[in-house]
Structure 1
């Protein structure tokens, strides 16, 4: 098969798992049990790893859109024989609304076909391959006309409004849809050793799922600029949230490459504390964070009691710590980009900036969290602060998770200052056990050290690490976290150097000089910095150019190829949508308040 572009995919979610469906009607990625579970449909990473296509037999023009304020995707195929719409969703549990979505998800993919004009020949091709393509299932036709696929620990039941035929190791059907005709299909997941899943009415389930997503409108209270894009990005972030725990997956996928054919391919289906905290910031902008206490409870319980070991930086979606990485050797990888990795060894790293992001989120949401903070949250903040006070002088791997030597990354040190500064401000809410004079002294020492050792006179900028001549776009985060104002002469020189040396004419910003693509989060940080530096018109022009890198249904990857404009990296990427929300708010309110 021809490899679809990453931008060809739309994102479906039930806040338990997610799926990617292409413009041709093929679902090429689904991990039905939860976001980080093994895929049963994995053609995204290998043509042999499973798919479910439902679409016209003949090619034609395609138009797509999400139904308003949902992750329910409607694709209209215009062919020579007529037009047909296919509406796809991961079903909500019956009656669920807003934050109830995903708590008891039925794990059912529903697809409704509707004839619009003419008589359109259609085909269904279903070839499940559980365990990332390792397993070829047995197929058994059921008395109700459905087909059950079983392999290893997985059972899948496909049912539809037309006869389905098991043929070898796949299910196929050919049929035609006329104007006004509507047919429903559903694919249900269950453990192999349970009963046959009860069938949903696909049409009713689709309507209920739309209602569940649209109930989030009640929490969307954003009234700033670019409201449509902000609300959509907030919906994407909610779609990446694993509702049972409150964890936020960094992305839906694993091993989509930063460079085609390259080996920087990582598994992003877990929850990084950094991304989690930044998501809470973004949702504070885009919506009323009604569930802040529950989400912070996940963070506190996942971190646990802190000892001498480094603060853990990422977890499985239910708080698992050991995410040991291994290669899926049976998969060829997207565009031949090997290895395909499951797990992420970054869980072993020390990244000193993480505490600052978490404590910053507590500070931002303090009015939703009560006074004093509850015991778990107080213990988490105090533990993170004490850990920073004891370890801030150590080298680390930085926010880009370098896999070479540890260094004294400037942004890591600045976020250590954020931890101490905001912990001092939160002290009245933290009860006993707060050594305010020591915390204040450590805060001031960190700041003085960063200002002295972070500036590189030869480069004329703050560089990525102490003593380094290499620029790093992470330093654009310093004004965002209020370590330095963007108008500070040295900070202004740094912004100019990053834009000149790491930027592209279209406003993309690479993380460092050898980075293969423009990193969208850094591009949005540049927008924020320019607003704060007093250049709102130029910031807005860059913002709108970066918005243009979203696909036709408003989804952003991690990076963009600056030559072709093609998306790179895992998709959709939470950090990119976080950056969009925060930059839109900065354009609305330059203070970010």
Structure 2
């Protein structure tokens, strides 16, 4: 089988786990226990690592055409296959649970994958191929035919039960392969339920009713907040994707659904993004506030506060597990060849060990944003967190770190990290009246001003006429676009204006994408939207609007973004769907709505 492109996949979510389903109907990724758990289908990363296909026989032959779309304001996916013999619709979803509405999404998801086949015209021959491989493909389960026609698959820690309505299923040695015909008006439902091998048995659902309940659950969630800004046809789907990446039990937002999808096919930057990054915290809060719901913003903040715990001498990690786990030690999976043969496949992410000085700035700026909801005087735990993070910046801002791109070579004095240290101190000064007698705004302001002066002196390169990525560097870095976004400098400051033009000239492409650095072979979606924000803040609305439209045009047919876009082919690269890309879209759209309001 030819490997589907990253952009060929659609995203399903129950706010506990997520699945990827290809255009031809193959579920090639599902970690049913939770987003950062182990996969029962992982063909995305290895051809023998498990899949579950439901689609026409001979898909891809001449005369076969596919149309697909989400039901409005949901992650319920409807794929229509037009074949020479007729047309059939396959509707896919991860069940939300009976009666779930609004903010209850993900709290008690039943871990059931729903699929419905409906004949639209003619008579179409369909193929079912159920080949589960738990533990990221390490295990081959025993398959047993039950008396009621269900198929039970067990191996290691996983139990799966496949039900197919009235369709008889024949069990093979290690898979279920079946062909059947569907006529116009005929409906056949399938449900695949997961459970821990030593917990409660898999849930039984009425698949048709569960599909409708799931659609209603998503629609009711979107009704909790009406986005008032420009480009609602793009913002609302991106907000739904962000909700789909939110782990309902804690409120944490996963950076992406997947691990190890490469930033460059044949490269080595293949990382596990199924965790929640504090580096992205303030940007995520902005996007949730604008396009999702204040309730979700507050839950995310509460999760961060709890995950950090008491502030000590050690720096706060840049990422945590979705229930606040700190140790995310990384290992590789030699049995998996990787997407398009690009390994290694990694589980865990050793970036949690890195020193990244930008983390306190992300958190403290979020505290400032939420100040009116946190009270005129903070409770002792919140005060301790703010004071502890502030003092960490006072003591550490002069140190080098790994930077926002999480390089795995030597530490440097990255400009974006220093600027976020400035953000931290500026936020602390403005929050001082809520922090009690231990606040020291005069000393903090002096540190803030010293950081600013150091950045303006050390980050500027006269030769290239721009702020660079690190002190003493001559290399342009798109992270410099972050300076106006966090209000360190006005985009109309002469040096900042020169930097914006240099980044657009040297790192930009003809279709508007912005690379992170000159050797980067792909456009980075978030940086491209940062450029939109900079232009909008500078008052160059026409260029900002044109760029926003061009960048947004790189989404796939379902409005999904991965992390990067290949400059030669336009293919999606990196983990998908990528929260930061959709966050960038939402924040850029709101910046075009209100240039000074974020």
TM-score (norm 2): 0.98
What's the Cα RMSD here? 1.1
The answer to whether 1:383 aligns with 2:392 is no
Distance 1:191 1:179, change over 3 A: same
Structure 2 Cα separation of the partners of residues 466 and 72 of structure 1: 48
2:118 match: secondary structure? strand
Partner of 1:267: 272
Partner of 2:541: 536
Partner of 1:120: 124
State which of 366, 371, 386 in structure 2 corresponds to 1:366: 371
Structure 1 Cα separation of the partners of residues 474 and 203 of structure 2: 62
The answer as to whether partners of 1:284 and 1:365 remain within 8 angstroms in 2 is: no
Partner of 2:135: 131
State which of 39, 63, 73 in structure 2 corresponds to 1:69: 73
2:280 match: secondary structure? helix
Structure 2 Cα separation of the partners of residues 53 and 431 of structure 1: 60
State which of 555, 563, 576 in structure 1 corresponds to 2:560: 555
1:206-229 superposed Cα distances (whole Å, 9 cap, x missing partner):
111111111122332211110121
The answer as to whether partners of 2:110 and 2:203 remain within 8 angstroms in 1 is: no
Distance 1:103 1:327, change over 3 A: same
Q: Return structure 1 stretches of 4+ with deviation > 6 angstroms.
A: none
1:357-412 superposed Cα distances (whole Å, 9 cap, x missing partner):
12112222223333333443332222211111111111000000010010011111
State which of 237, 249, 255 in structure 1 corresponds to 2:254: 249
Map 1:46-85 → 2, pairs under 5 A: 46-59=46-59, 60-85=64-89
The answer to whether 1:429 aligns with 2:434 is yes
Partner of 1:521: 526
Which segment drifts farther, 189-198 or 504-513? 189-198
The answer to whether 1:483 aligns with 2:483 is no
The answer as to whether partners of 2:159 and 2:202 remain within 8 angstroms in 1 is: no
The answer to whether 1:190 aligns with 2:206 is no
Query: How far did 1:195 drift?
Result: 5.0
The answer to whether 1:447 aligns with 2:452 is yes
Structure 1 gaps, min length 5: none
Structure 2 Cα separation of the partners of residues 278 and 173 of structure 1: 47
Structure 1 Cα separation of the partners of residues 323 and 11 of structure 2: 22
2:520 match: secondary structure? coil
Structure 2 Cα separation of the partners of residues 216 and 194 of structure 1: 30
The answer to whether 1:228 aligns with 2:228 is no
The answer to whether 1:209 aligns with 2:217 is no
Structure 2 Cα separation of the partners of residues 163 and 194 of structure 1: 28
Structure 2 Cα separation of the partners of residues 357 and 295 of structure 1: 13
The answer as to whether partners of 1:275 and 1:574 remain within 8 angstroms in 2 is: no
Partner of 1:4: 4
The answer to whether 1:14 aligns with 2:11 is no
Which segment drifts farther, 555-564 or 454-463? 454-463
The answer as to whether partners of 1:282 and 1:582 remain within 8 angstroms in 2 is: yes
Query: How far did 1:24 drift?
Result: 0.3
Paired residues, what number? 593
Structure 2 Cα separation of the partners of residues 291 and 259 of structure 1: 34
TM-score (norm 1): 0.98
The answer as to whether partners of 2:562 and 2:577 remain within 8 angstroms in 1 is: yes
Partner of 1:493: 498
State which of 223, 229, 236 in structure 2 corresponds to 1:218: 223
The answer to whether 1:589 aligns with 2:584 is no
